[in-house]
Amino acid sequence: MRKALEKVGDECLYFLEQAGRMGVFLVFCLISLLIPPYKPQAIVKQIHFIGARSLFVILFTGAFTGMVLGLQGYYTLRKFGSEGLLGSAVALSLIRELGPVLTALMVIGRAGSAICAEIGIMRNSEQIDALECMAIDPYKYLMAPKFVAAIFSLPLLTFVFDVIGIFGGFLVGVSLLGVNEGTYFQGMYASVVWQDIEMGLVKSLVFGLLIIWISAAKGYYLQFERNGGFGAEGVSRTTTSAVVTASVTVLVWDYLISAILL
């Protein structure tokens, strides 16, 4: 019994320590965003890495998500004789929910994991210590461009995901299953309002911040990971943990934002 309580206590302390570190990390990163000089070149490089290089996977997943929504939506709506609502069903699902969430999950898998591993290896090989000793602020030099790039890229990628998804739904619903083209778009125009777009935008901005925060902080504090984060195995374990934590956090915040904005 006592051992069990000790274990629970240890877990709680570890969780609080981690939460404290992550909080401090976020504050330092946000402060570093406000302090000049700003490095546009570094930001563009990170936008290329997080945004442009995620484009293909976003196009691919967006198209197939839209297509499956078109397919499932058509057969579900047909039961109620409401195939005409397919356009609005696809558009609302994508804009409010699936677009931001799936884009975030794809970016976590592609860029978040890479960022965590990169910073973790820099921590392991003393490169971050070297920056500090050279009086170069690692928050400003390493993190700030990544934060700006993620917060900027996620809404754009989400927009691309939504557009391609709607086109995918159109392809299946209209071209394959025979829904009227005018009805598809008319339903969409009639049902999508600014609040829906706003919800998608808020979600993608928050998800961008969450992804970069968790991925970068996990790598930065590699040495504090449970069972030690050093060595190749430590980096791999920490990267897995970052991907899982970021994915779960995105889903939790998806619910919270929906509950707040609905």
Positive/negative CA dihedral, 33, 245, 201, 101: positive
- Can residue 135 be called a binding residue for another protein (CB under 8 A)? yes
- Determine if 240 is a binding residue for another protein (CB under 8 A): no
The residue range among 54-62, 66-74, 136-144, 145-153 that interacts with another protein, by the rule CB under 8 A, is: 136-144
Q: Which of 144, 62, 56 is nearest to 103 (CA)?
A: 62
Q: Closest separation between CB of residue 85 and another protein, Å?
A: 51
Among 5, 134, 259, 260, indicate the residue that binds another protein (CB under 8 A): 134
**How far is Cα 47 from Cα 61, in angstroms, rounded to an integer?**
20
Q: Is 133 in the site for another protein (CB under 8 A)?
A: yes
Q: Which is nearer to another protein, 41 or 260 (CB)?
A: 41
> What is the nearest approach in angstroms of another protein to the Cβ of residue 217?
17
Based on the number of CB atoms within 10 Å of its own CB, is 183 exposed (0-12), middle (13-18) or buried (19 or more)?
A: middle
**Structural contact between residues 192 and 90, judged by C-beta atoms closer than 8 angstroms:** no
Contact residue for another protein among 18, 137, 167, 253 (CB under 8 A): 137
Applying CB under 8 A, does 24 fall inside the site for another protein?
Answer: no
126 belongs to the binding site for another protein (CB under 8 A): yes
CB neighbour burial string for 43-55, b if at least 16 within 10 angstroms, e if fewer: beebbebbbeebe
DSSP character at residue 136: -
One of 13, 19, 136, 190 touching another protein (CB under 8 A):
136
Phi then psi dihedrals of residue 136, to 5 deg: -105, 120
Based on the shown chain and the rule CB under 8 A, indicate whether residue 196 belongs to the binding site for another protein.
no
Asked whether position 195 contacts another protein by CB under 8 A, the answer is: no
| Closest to 105 measured CA to CA, from 6, 251, 4, 222 | 251
- Report the nearest approach of another protein to the CB of residue 17 (Å): 12
Residue 129 interacts with another protein (CB under 8 A): yes or no: yes
Q: Is the CB of 134 or the CB of 260 nearer to another protein? A: 134
Nearest Cα residue to 213 out of 125, 128, 108: 108
Alpha helices in 174-230 (DSSP H): 181-191, 194-220
CB closer to another protein, 139 vs 184: 139
Sign of the torsion angle spanned by Cα atoms 7, 9, 13, 16: positive
Question: Residue 132, interface with another protein (CB under 8 A)?
Answer: yes
What minimum distance in Å lies between the beta carbon of 261 and another protein?
Answer: 37
Which residues bind to another protein, rule: CB under 8 A? Answer: 125-127, 129-130, 132-137, 141
